[in-house]
Each structure stands twice: as structure tokens, then as C-alpha cells.
């Protein structure tokens, strides 16, 4: 399955998503040439298509604005900077009455910029955005560095309560490279799905 870029770049402005950005999922192997990322999808799991990834970004980002202060104060990332890489889930998207373990990967395009922050800063902001009227954070670990096959990530673990009924857990990983700030969110409810998601993260490679 070939997935074209969810956004079209209008210029060479470093805030735009690169026009040469490509995504390719072949069987259970995902490769993103521009960002130099590859990962293995669990056998039989569903991969979000292009339109579903577009919707995903609209839910986690805000539209591009001339008011940079508004973007910073909201704690959100402009949709012009945010690229959805993939989302793999155990059941087909939209399957009712099932908790759907999943992993979603996003990258904030920072090509040509100098990274002056800490990878944990992004995870702290993500945690703030999670706390809503319908979603409560029950517990959270401190952000810490972990090593996965020689790659260093910042990582935190969360336990969440959705609408006072569904309890689930997340592991959030972050890593900065010269091309972007990568964020991986793994959501699960039992040890079996956690093991499968751990296998996905252990297959992540940067080139």
C-alpha cells in the first residue's frame, strides 16, 4: 500500500511539509524515505490509510496561524509542521465494542532548525493536552531516557481513564533528529497487546 504525503508543500519554507516526503507500507514493513524511518507492523494489524491519517492530524494539531503566540500558548503544534507517519491498530479502524490497541507515530517537521529543547518537553506538553473533561490521567511516570537497540528515546508511561469507565495505558516515546521531533504513542489494555507494541518499538530504525 502506497500512501502519499497527507499535506502538499507550497514552497521551500522550512515550516512546510517537504514535497519529497513519501511513505510506503509494504506488507508488514513501513518505510519513510524522507525522514529516514522504518518499522515493522504486527502481522494482521490494520494500517490507517491516507484519509484517516489526515483526520488524525486535525484532531491533534491546530490550523496554521499568523499568530505564533496563539500557537505557543495553546501548547499545540501547527498542522503545517505536523506529519502523520503511521498508525497501526489491532482491529480495523472503527470496529465497535472493542478496545483497539494501537501505535501512532507523528513527526514535527524541524528540517533546517536547531534543536534547543529537551525531548521530554514535548511529552510533558502532550500530557497536559490529554487531560480533558472526558479523559483523566490516573497516574504518570517521570520522563526518562531508555535505550531500544542502541537508539535513545525519552519515554513516559501513563494510566488513563476515559469517561469514568475505560481504563487503559500508554507508553509515549520521543526522539529528536536533524529532520524532526518524532513522537510514538503506544496504547494498550493488557499484557498481550503491550508485548506486540513493544515489538513494534523495538523494530524502529533511523537511517
pLDDT digits (tens, 9 = 90+) for 80-137: 677 888 999 999 877 888 889 999 998 887 766 665 568 898 888 888 777 787 889 9
The pLDDT mean for the chain works out to 77
pLDDT digits (tens, 9 = 90+) for 15-25: 344 433 566 66
Return the domain boundaries, the chain.
Answer: 2-206
Domain 2-206 top-level CATH class: alpha beta
Lowest mean pLDDT among 52-61, 121-130, 146-155, 170-179: 52-61
| Cβ proximity of 101 and 187 under 8 Å | yes
> What's the pLDDT at 195?
95
Across 168-173, average pLDDT: 95
Rounded Cα distance between 181 and 175, Å, is: 6
- The dihedral through the CA atoms of 129, 155, 148, 98 has a sign that is negative
For the entire predicted model, the pTM comes to 0.79
- Which DSSP helix (H) or strand (E) runs through 174? strand 166-176
Task: Please name which of 11, 99, 1 lies closest in space to residue 50, comparing C-alpha atoms.
Answer: 1
> What's the pLDDT at 14?
36
> What's the pLDDT at 144?
95
Rounded Cα distance between 26 and 43, Å, is: 12
Amino acid at each position: 500500500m502506497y500512501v502519499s504525503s497527507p499535506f502538499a508543500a507550497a514552497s521551500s519554507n522550512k515550516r512546510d511539509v517537504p514535497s519529497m516526503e513519501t511513505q510506503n507500507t509494504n506488507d508488514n514493513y513501513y518505510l519513510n524515505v524522507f525522514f529516514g524511518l522504518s518499522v515493522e507492523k504486527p502481522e494482521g494489524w490494520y494500517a490507517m490509510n491516507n484519509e484517516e491519517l489526515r483526520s488524525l492530524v486535525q484532531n491533534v494539531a491546530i490550523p496554521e496561524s499568523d499568530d505564533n503566540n496563539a500557537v505557543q500558548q495553546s501548547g499545540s503544534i501547527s498542522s503545517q509542521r505536523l506529519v502523520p507517519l503511521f498508525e497501526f491498530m489491532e482491529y480495523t479502524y472503527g470496529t465497535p465494542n472493542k478496545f483497539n490497541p494501537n501505535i501512532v507515530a507523528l513527526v514535527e517537521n524541524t528540517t533546517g532548525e536547531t534543536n534547543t529543547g529537551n525531548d521530554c518537553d514535548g511529552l510533558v506538553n502532550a500530557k497536559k493536552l490529554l487531560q480533558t473533561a472526558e479523559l483523566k490521567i490516573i497516574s504518570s511516570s517521570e520522563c526518562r531516557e531508555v535505550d531500544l537497540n542502541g537508539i535513545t528515546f525519552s519515554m513516559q508511561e501513563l494510566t488513563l481513564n476515559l469517561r469514568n469507565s475505560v481504563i487503559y495505558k500508554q507508553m509515549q516515546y520521543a526522539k529528536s533528529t536533524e529532520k524532526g521531533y518524532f513522537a510514538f504513542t503506544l496504547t494498550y489494555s493488557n499484557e498481550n497487546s503491550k508485548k506486540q507494541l513493544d515489538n513494534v518499538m523495538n523494530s524502529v530504525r533511523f537511517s
